């Protein structure tokens, strides 16, 4: 399954006076992200330099699937995050590590 590099940013619903974990619907967002990680969709995700942009590496069959899954994140309809780009990504270095991570996620799901 292909990998995609995804860049998202804080949207118009973001309350800049509050830290990330104090934003509205944090628990729902975090739970959703954890489920996607458990499913093997998210391999890496996190803010760039603590700023408004978030970089993720995801494992999905196509861009439409990536966008659909991100649209299901509770923070998307709430306007806390919006997707800036979804680009196919080829791991030139560390691809073996990503393949092992994907295999481990598949194994975890099989045991659950």
Q: What is the pLDDT of residue 77?
A: 96
Taking a C-beta distance cutoff of 8 angstroms, is the pair 91, 3 a contact? yes
Residue 109 has pLDDT above 70, yes or no: no
Distance of alpha carbon 61 from alpha carbon 49, whole angstroms: 29
Could you read off the pLDDT of 15-73 as tens digits, one per residue?
A: 999 999 999 999 999 999 999 998 889 988 999 987 799 999 999 999 999 999 999 99
Q: What is the pLDDT of residue 96?
A: 77
Domains and CATH numbers, the chain: 3-111 (3.30.70.1060)
DSSP secondary structure code for residue 9 in this structure: E
Can you read off the two tokens belonging to residue 15? 């309350």
Greater model confidence, 106 or 59:
59
Residue 111 has pLDDT above 80, yes or no: no
Residue 110 burial by CB count (10 A; 0-12/13-18/19+): exposed, middle or buried? exposed
């Amino acid at each position: 399954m292909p990998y995609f590099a995804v860049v998202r940013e804080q949207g118009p619903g973001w309350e800049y006076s509050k830290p990330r974990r104090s934003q509205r619907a944090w628990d729902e967002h975090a739970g959703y992200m954890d489920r996607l990680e458990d499913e093997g969709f998210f391999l890496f995700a996190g803010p760039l330099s603590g700023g408004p942009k978030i970089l993720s590496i995801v494992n999905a069959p196509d861009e439409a699937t990536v966008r659909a899954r991100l649209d299901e994140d509770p923070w998307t309809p709430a306007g806390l995050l919006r997707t800036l780009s979804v680009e196919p990504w080829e791991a030139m270095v560390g691809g073996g590590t990503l393949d092992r991570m994907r295999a481990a996620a598949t194994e975890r799901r099989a045991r659950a």
